[in-house]
Structure 1
Amino acid sequence: MGNSGSTTVTNATNLNADNNRRLYNLVDMHGGGELIPWMRYAINSGKHEEIDKNMEEKVKDFMYNQGKGKMEAVAELVKRRNKERNAMLGALYRKKGKGKSGPNILEDFNQEGVNQGDLKKALKLLDGGGKGGKGESKYREIVWRLEERGTMGENLVGVCLLQGTNVHNKLAMKLIQNYPKLVNDIFISEEYYGLSPLHQAIVNEDPRMVNYLLQNGADVNQRCYGAFFCCEDQKSSRTDSLEHEYVELKQETNYVGRMYFGEYPLAFAACTNQFDCYRLLRMKRADPNLKDTNGNTILHLTVIHEKPEMLKFAYDTGAKLQMTNKQNLTPLTLAAKLAKKQMFDQILSLEGETFWVYGDASSIAYPLAKIDSINEETGGLNEDCVLNYVVYGGTQEHLALLEGLLENLLQAKWNHFARFQLIRSFTCFLIYYVFFVMAFMTRPLDLSDDEMNYNSTGEVTIVPNETVTPAVPVTIESWFAQQQCHLWMYAKDGFYGYVRLVAEVIVISMVAFQICDEGFDMYRIGTSRWWQTLKSFPAKILYKIALILVLISAPLRLLCGLSDKMIIVENFVILLSVVFTTVHFLYYSRAIKFVGPFVLMVYTIIMQDMVRFFIIYAIFLIGFSQGFFLVFLHCERERNLKHQHVENILSDPSESLLRLFVMTIGEFTVFYRELNACQKDAHLMTIFGKIMFVVFELFVSIMQFNMLIAMMTRTYEMIFRTQKEWKRQWAQVILMLELSLKPLDRRLHMLRYSRPIGTNKNRRAFMVSRKINVDSLTEAEKRMRAMQAEALREEKRLLLKRRLKDYSLAIGRKSIRPGTSYLIATPHPPRKH
């Protein structure tokens, strides 16, 4: 799978060239065809008799039952699709359809002239043939003959809409007007299976055609399963089942696909940002919460294609933010996983509930159900949460999401429990490390003067005990009394021996407790989740290995009597555990702001730069070492022939590797002196060896090591410039500490830094007080804020007017002399006559 569209068309053309020629005689892919001139004439003159006549004569024979269509078993269509897919693939990649198709009750049934309505009702009763938009139908109505279709499985309407010109659109309308059932006749091919005229009109961005198709009965829930509209990393996993029409895909995907539009016409409109088409489909009751094969709804798809305005519009018209896909991702967690910051902020603004606004400041509550790593009901770990996807994302885009809400949430976790947990963990580790060092440093470095002697090479030789005859049984006392078991003789070392005894007992007890506690955590949260968190901390992994090594050293100590080699094995194990335990200090350093980025630099340089360097370096080292080995071997043979017994510094291939490694770090004096000494005995090989020496120094010691320094410098500068990288290290430490808490303790801490939503105490929200950045608002949000400000001013004006009125009334009541009314005339005294 994964073939390009052109390859697909070519393969399909080779298979169906003879059958498809007749269709393209009517309308071809280059703007021509027998029907096009007649359609132009009808448009210009307004006379449609000729085009109707040509359709009657030339088009009817291409359709089943003279355009009335016939019912076809979905299993047969799936077999046809599977056969076409396998024809495009190699023999090793071919897949057969699985499942059982059941009996086809239409096989021996002549559908010509039969009442299709009655047949559909019968199929619905007998075999569940009704279409509910969920892919459960076992029969599909086909209008255009399967053997008369084009290279992409299209009919004549599909050919017209592929061109998309005015003439072709008019012809498509004419065809649907004369043969109404063509409106739901889909493409039948592997690449474009399920593509309907409604899908094509949306892709053409033609709202008028969309409206026409909807008015003529187009199915708003028709799904398009073609490989052309599939995610790129899922194309190779496409398999068919005879029990259903949709294609089965692997669940793991990154959702990358230029034409991955989500199968439904409404999803096509959303992904192409066509608001008019979206409104028309919603008016016809198209459901925005229907899921495609990956379980994605309209909101998921707008996140994938980064359509923030369409996401807001879909949400306002009925799309739900709580829907999850097959990877258990909501639109919010999907935006976090894909590091789509704009979409992430948009969904947060929709989910958040504003409690108060004062000027540019506001307080917003964000539901924690899919954001926090702690389950709000049980206190368990929430794997599919925003915090996990952002903290363990690993890209610069994920770092940008840590600002704002998530940073405040992490700070709340740090203040409520993480800081105390880290200090307590470090204190316990420090106590363990002190006893561990005491147990290691007080180990006796020698036995006793009368039990040891040293040879001339400086090697220690242990004087064996007296030979025990087989007749004498081995007891516990005799077993541990052997000289190689001297580590059991604590009393022999006096004060230091007793200190070592106490320290070793405490260390073994603490190691056993830590391993049991770690095993309990693995059982409680699951191995996969445990490893997902632990793998981000190399120092922590080494520390866990050190604990196991310390535990292994105990049985090695017990087996000391088997051989004097057991003490060497034990010493090696303890040395490794000391190194791995000391490295654990780096884990605690990651939470410190001025040290954490440098710890990350060390990890990154080792895992990226040095690994790449050593792969290339090993190739040069192996090749040149064996070449120098042959040069020195030839020199040794020539000297032996002349009875000059000189020691060869490259005595074997492994020694050659080690010598060349020492030479690359600057110590090449001895090597070159020995090479030059061979000049008298093997002149030609010496010249060849010197040439190799110069080439090796140029390409390895100079070029490659300077390249390594340049790579490490680049990594250092890149991480140093990323100031936010410390936040990720800090966040990972917090989540690691959270892992060690019990579910009840986690929930109690979560209840402290959150608040309930409404009357349901189990639903929690996190409060964030922030200043609104006016420049980051959209035009619609700015208009809304202007309207709110105007309404607030009007409310203040009315309030002031009411207060002034109340004040005037209060003053009037307190006045002794009633106020004179200017509306009542003053009475005059009576006149004298």
Structure 2
Amino acid sequence: MSKLVEHTSEEEEKVYQLVDCHGDGILMPWIKYARQTNDYGVLDEYLETVVKSFLYNGGKGKLISISELVMIRNKQRNAMLSALLRKKGRGKCGPNILDDINQEGLQKGDVIKAIKILDGCIKDNRSMKYRELIWDITLRGKMGENLLHICMLHNTADHNELVRLITKKYPKMVNDVFISEDYYGLSPLHQAIVNEDIEMVYFLLKNNADVHQRCYGSFFCADDQRASRTDSLEHEWVDVVQNTRYTGSMYWGEYPLSFAACTNQHDCFRLLRAFNADPNMRDTNGNTVLHLAVIHQLTEMFTLAYNLGAKLDVRNEQKLTPMALAAKLAKKEMFDLILEIESDVLWNYGQVKCTAFPLGDIDSVNERTGHLNHASVLPLVVYGDKSRHLDFLDGLLEDLLEAKWNAFGRKKFLISLANYIVYVLSFYIAFMTRRFAVNKNATEQWPDQFMANENMSDDWALSYEKPSMIEIVWEVNSEAEQCHLWRYDNHDTTYSQTIRLTCECIILILALTQSFQEVIDIRRSGHKRWWRVMSAFPSELLHKLSFAMVLLIVVVRYACSLHPMTVLIENFLAIIAVLTTSMHFLFYCRGVKFVGPFVLMVYKIIVGDILRFFLIYLIFVIGFSQAFFVLFTGCEHEHQQRLSRNETSDFQNILIGPFESFMIMFIMSVGEFTSFYKTLHDCSSSLVPLGKIMFLIYELLVTVMLLNLLIAMMTRTYEKISETQKEWKRQWAQVILLLEQSLKPHDRLISMLKYSRPTRSDKTHRSFVVRQRIVVNWFRIIFH
């Protein structure tokens, strides 16, 4: 642990004495002298004596435990973070067996053999828990760099010449890396690529530079992953959250070949491939060179990498191929390029060609199992959150959706609509034929009681208050049986209760069937995937909620004899069920071209504009309602005092409670303020002038400003969606994918057979065949 002590300024300055941050140092005059006179004697002596003192074992190197390097990196990260964001390294740190091995007296091969025996390592050095370093970790610069790295940073002719001399003198220095948090793993080869110095790249490769060295520094990490960086003492790479969109321009993929690809250096890329750099190596995010070319939208580099051996079927940690990644990030140009590479032209005839597009990465259905493919192009585009995703719904994807609609979508949609119509009509009829009491006489006597009350003497009317209709209904219900809804006997010739029984049975059967089907769909596709799909259909979620309400109504009706409140609870559930069921009509409107965008506008306005407006609106209404409540309480007190003095007072308090005050403020905000102002004017309290000022301020802030702000926000949302002509296609596509989710895997495969065909010897590989017209630009051909 003593090696983990922070560098003192004196130790850091030692390496900067050789070559400092400004490009000067004790070595620079001698390298300039050597280049001018071709006399390298003095410089060689410096390298043999001064520089050698900074190296482990005279330049032979030393194996350092990975856990020790990770702890240094973790300390530097925590030093830059606040106390709340600091994270300790995870995992266990076992005993460092290097402490018992004399690395200076043994050859490197003997040390590795000893480690294999004692530590059980795999033969590949990359699997070992130790890294060979040449420069002493306690004598490095502020960024964990050594002399070679400093020279590469300056990238001048003199510094590059010094790099060549140091590399020839101490060959192992070529693979020594930065060990700081920002640049951990950055090697001289990475630096040469960043400098776009292909001569230096070739020199380093000729001197055995590691073409698969990984750079884990936070500087080259995606912006939205930097806050999630954590360490483990059991491995060298950094753990990051995989839910990322790869933001930032410095995410270059860790490997030298990826650096060359992201900086768009074609010659450097070819050179690295000539030295066996693997283009299919995956970084921490699982991305290969092709993924990175998609992220940075480099079409020519993508084509070059593909021609030099990069594979299109490698998936990253998000299970995305380069094509699927292009769809997720809405990179239309990259998607079209990959589509062209993967497509097969079956035949050409004149200006028409027949092209087959493999469905493996495109279709939402797995072509082998029939299960939903969540990481394919179609669902990523349809449920994408960017406006650029709408551009994907032209051409191939539109044709594929049309084929799905013809294969199963139209039939499933009509069956679903028919079931819903039966369900909702049964719902309405069942509640229209409900009884309010055990017998009809209990309800028919209400008008008679009202007439009797009207004909009573005035003396009785002065002595007793007339019973209201609510009180009469409560009295009748309290005297009636609590379980009157279980009685389906008909008292007349309308057969209303038989109809109610039939409709309620239909409702219950459909609710149970749909509920069981939803459980099967959730188990089949997973709750996360199910929720992701359903969250795009609020009306569908409300419809599922109505099923739960129906089942709860059955339970409450069975418990009707337990308490009189069960009837009230059932009525409450019935009201919720009716409302949630009716909203499902919006689902069937989404796929219609002239209605679908308006349904989306309703959703967007409710979730976005009204929600944000309501949060601000609530602040004003709560504040003013309670202020007016206090004011009217004072008016009520003054009113009672005037009555006690036998004085006249027309004041009538309309703010009888805090909640009632809130409701009155809401009513005022929509324009009904005359009765409120009249009541305020009738108040005889000395606070009336203050109340009128508050009334004026409230009307200006809430009624005028906030409501007009809401109208402007809704208008902006409306115009934004109405300008998008392709929005209805997305709504239609989401309906098709929702219908597809309800199919069994076997049925999905049967449907796939209708709109695809095999194009290879393996019949499970399906392709979507499209006939396209070749558009020839004769003007461009003539003047080319």
The answer to whether TM tops 0.5 is: yes
Cα gap change, 1:118 to 1:439, in 2 (>3 Å): same
Residue 667 of structure 1 is matched in structure 2 by 672
Cα gap change, 1:568 to 1:169, in 2 (>3 Å): same
Correspondence 1:461 to 2:462: no
C-alpha distance in structure 2 between counterparts of 1:184 and 1:16, whole Å: 26
Residue 818 of structure 1 is matched in structure 2 by none
Letter in 1 for 2:275: K
Shift of 1:773: 5.1
Cα gap change, 1:558 to 1:129, in 2 (>3 Å): closer
Correspondence 1:69 to 2:80: no
Cα gap change, 1:159 to 1:466, in 2 (>3 Å): closer
Cα gap change, 1:316 to 1:635, in 2 (>3 Å): same
Q: Is the 8 A contact 1:755 1:765 kept in 2?
A: yes
Of residues 717, 741, 750, the one that matches 1:748 is 750
5 Å matches for 1:86-125?
Answer: 86-112=78-104, 114-124=106-116
Correspondence 1:52 to 2:51: no
C-alpha distance in structure 2 between counterparts of 1:622 and 1:487, whole Å: 45
Residue 474 of structure 1 is matched in structure 2 by none
Q: Is the 8 A contact 2:488 2:501 kept in 1?
A: no
Shift of 1:55: 2.2
Shift of 1:450: 4.8
Residue 192 of structure 2 is matched in structure 1 by 201
C-alpha distance in structure 2 between counterparts of 1:493 and 1:672, whole Å: 53
Shift of 1:203: 0.8
Correspondence 1:286 to 2:258: no
Structure of greater Rg: 1
SS of the residue 2:368 aligns to: coil
Of residues 755, 763, 766, the one that matches 2:765 is 763
Cα gap change, 1:176 to 1:465, in 2 (>3 Å): closer
C-alpha distance in structure 2 between counterparts of 1:746 and 1:397, whole Å: 29
5 Å matches for 1:163-562?
Answer: 163-445=154-436, 448-450=440-442, 453=446, 456-459=467-470, 460-463=472-475, 482=481, 485=484, 488-492=487-491, 494=493, 495-562=495-562
Structure 2 gap segments, 5+ residues each? 450-465
SS of the residue 1:560 aligns to: coil
Q: Is the 8 A contact 2:488 2:498 kept in 1?
A: no
5 Å matches for 1:492-641?
Answer: 492=491, 494=493, 495-641=495-641
Q: Is the 8 A contact 2:442 2:476 kept in 1?
A: no
C-alpha distance in structure 2 between counterparts of 1:667 and 1:344, whole Å: 56
Letter in 2 for 1:211: Y
Cα gap change, 1:396 to 1:775, in 2 (>3 Å): farther
Residue 8 of structure 1 is matched in structure 2 by none
SS of the residue 2:64 aligns to: strand
Shift of 1:567: 2.2
Q: Is the 8 A contact 1:302 1:308 kept in 2?
A: yes
CA offsets, 1:147-179, max 9 Å, x none?
A: 110011000000001111111111111111111
CA offsets, 1:309-348, max 9 Å, x none?
A: 1111111001101111111111111111111111111111
Correspondence 1:35 to 2:27: yes
Residue 801 of structure 1 is matched in structure 2 by none
Residue 685 of structure 2 is matched in structure 1 by 682
Shift of 1:499: 1.6
Letter in 2 for 1:755: R
Letter in 2 for 1:108: D
Cα gap change, 1:629 to 1:39, in 2 (>3 Å): same
Residue 6 of structure 1 is matched in structure 2 by none
C-alpha distance in structure 1 between counterparts of 2:286 and 2:50, whole Å: 43
Q: Which stretch has the larger CA shift, 665-674 or 645-654?
A: 645-654
Residue 21 of structure 1 is matched in structure 2 by 13
CA offsets, 1:712-766, max 9 Å, x none?
A: 1111111111011001000000001111112111110101100102111111011
Shift of 1:486: 5.2
Letter in 2 for 1:76: E
Letter in 1 for 2:467: S
C-alpha distance in structure 2 between counterparts of 1:92 and 1:719, whole Å: 42
SS of the residue 1:380 aligns to: coil
Letter in 2 for 1:449: N
SS of the residue 2:394 aligns to: coil
C-alpha distance in structure 1 between counterparts of 2:776 and 2:623, whole Å: 64
Of residues 705, 708, 711, the one that matches 1:706 is 708
Residue 731 of structure 2 is matched in structure 1 by 729
Shift of 1:632: 0.7
C-alpha distance in structure 1 between counterparts of 2:124 and 2:208, whole Å: 15
Q: Is the 8 A contact 1:443 1:487 kept in 2?
A: no
C-alpha distance in structure 2 between counterparts of 1:483 and 1:189, whole Å: 76
Q: Between the two proteins, what is the percent identity of the paired residues?
A: 51
CA offsets, 1:337-396, max 9 Å, x none?
A: 111111111111111111123444322211111211111112121111111111001210
Shift of 1:44: 2.2
C-alpha distance in structure 2 between counterparts of 1:33 and 1:234, whole Å: 38
Shift of 1:307: 1.1
Letter in 2 for 1:33: G
CA offsets, 1:514-570, max 9 Å, x none?
A: 212222222222222221111111111111111211222222223333444332222
Cα gap change, 1:775 to 1:336, in 2 (>3 Å): farther
Cα gap change, 1:707 to 1:406, in 2 (>3 Å): same
Letter in 1 for 2:170: Y
C-alpha distance in structure 1 between counterparts of 2:771 and 2:674, whole Å: 69
SS of the residue 1:78 aligns to: helix
SS of the residue 1:354 aligns to: strand
Q: Which stretch has the larger CA shift, 262-271 or 227-236?
A: 227-236
Shift of 1:462: 4.9
Residue 156 of structure 1 is matched in structure 2 by 147
Cα gap change, 1:63 to 1:774, in 2 (>3 Å): farther
C-alpha distance in structure 2 between counterparts of 1:461 and 1:398, whole Å: 57
Q: Is the 8 A contact 2:7 2:138 kept in 1?
A: no
Letter in 2 for 1:355: L
Q: Is the 8 A contact 2:54 2:139 kept in 1?
A: yes
Give the aligned length: 753
Residue 455 of structure 2 is matched in structure 1 by none
Q: Which stretch has the larger CA shift, 396-405 or 235-244?
A: 235-244
Q: Which stretch has the larger CA shift, 191-200 or 135-144?
A: 135-144
SS of the residue 1:198 aligns to: helix
Shift of 1:180: 1.1
Q: Is the 8 A contact 2:360 2:766 kept in 1?
A: yes
Cα gap change, 1:373 to 1:204, in 2 (>3 Å): same
Q: Is the 8 A contact 2:434 2:485 kept in 1?
A: no
Cα gap change, 1:284 to 1:425, in 2 (>3 Å): same
Structure 1 gap segments, 5+ residues each? 1-11, 468-480, 787-833
Letter in 2 for 1:350: I
C-alpha distance in structure 1 between counterparts of 2:336 and 2:536, whole Å: 27
